[in-house]
Structure 1
Amino acid sequence: MTLTLITGGNKGLGFETARRLIGLGHTVYIGARNAENGKKAANELGAQFVLLDVTDNDSVNTAAAEIMKKEGHLDVLINNAGIVGGFSKPQDVTADEVRQSYETNVFGIVRVTQAFLPLLRKSEAPVIVNVSSGLGSFGMVTNPETLESKVNSLAYTSSKSAVTMLTVQYAKGLPNIRINAVDPGPTKTDLTGHGHQTVEEGTDAIVRMATIGKEGPTGTFTNRNGEMPW
């Protein structure tokens, strides 16, 4: 049985991804920084819960140790936790605003990936899925015909560009693990508050890449319709 951890899995895209993967036979751990919300979501889904704040080294390391003790390995890691942050005009953005977005969206992926690598290496077909965004795609935000080109959010968009580059570099450095980035697309959740896709459509790419197995692609960036421009 495939063992999967989803960060930020107690709501939105993470919750729906957990629901779908459980339906496919995965044993899913929901990582959440709020114990009450995490346990409630896990109970509703039939998932396991682990307390995990991606911005806190001790929390991440404790979660990794807990799953190692209980399970001894991890097959799929879905780095889903993220924040939108502020939408200050570029000339008004402070370093602290950017740092806040990066703490979760970028450094959080590095923390979690590093902590769970020993568990993933014990899997026969380890997979990592990093949830990025079309707002981090240079091709999308510079194309005047896209919705992404209408958004001007320095902190969030640059953090998601960093996620795709992290993905490529991890894929190059860890050839025995399938590591890919995905764009959920414009999905209305409590994180974004806007979008035309259903939450199920928004998880199509995540679920597809979480189930690729050891022969699947690595170092790619896709959405539900296929390849995304970098």
Structure 2
Amino acid sequence: MIKGLLFDYGGTIDTNGLHWGGVLWSHYQRYGIPVDQPAFARAYAFGERSLAINPLVKPTHSFYEVLLLKIEQQFQYLTDNGFKPDSGAIETIAFDCSEFARQTVAQAKPVLAALANQYPLVMVSNFYGNLNTVLDDFGIRSCFQTVIESAVVGIRKPDPGIYRLGLAALQLPAENAVVIGDSYTKDIQPALTIGCRTIWLNGAGWEDTPRNSESISVVDAEITDFARLPEVLARLDGKAAQPVAH
């Protein structure tokens, strides 16, 4: 029986399964940033490390402000490595991507609200220390009983310890909890390690993802659209799906 849900955030709720590397790369292309994809991928990884290591993001920062910092780090890396991105595009890319996230979260909100009426929800996310601010700004913080954020608790996915904290917040054994996430390596594998059930939101990935039948068979369900969650959870729980208000 399913008694609680553990949600990833970035790439799951805010992009409906698209990796943020892919989202940003598409905007680099849209605005003609003169860089190839391998170099962008290195810049993206550099930016992620910079924000994880350095206290650039403050607890009060909005997601737009996070994107500004992230893209600034990426552009600095590219400039230092011989590329010539126009810094004037930073604010435009950050704004467009922030609005994309806001719209995607708005589409996910009724699904989350419906699920929160049936189960306790806990957020388990690799983030920068400002996730409560972002969730408040996007109007979904009230759906979650607790937010467990890597920058706050000092544990990052794929360490399964961060999901153990999620189980402790739910006060449930692993077999009664379902982990929902977009990353096979950072969400699904650690969840399986501690005995949780899993739903993999497998959208347009950025990282290498196993596609062999054995890896897929251990996932309880695989979806490509966040909106299908109530239906899939009802099937896993042996119940009729509850309607989602829009």
Q: TM-score, normalised by structure 2?
A: 0.42
Structure (1 or 2) with the larger CA radius of gyration: 2
Q: Which has the higher helix share?
A: 2
Q: Which has the higher strand share?
A: 1
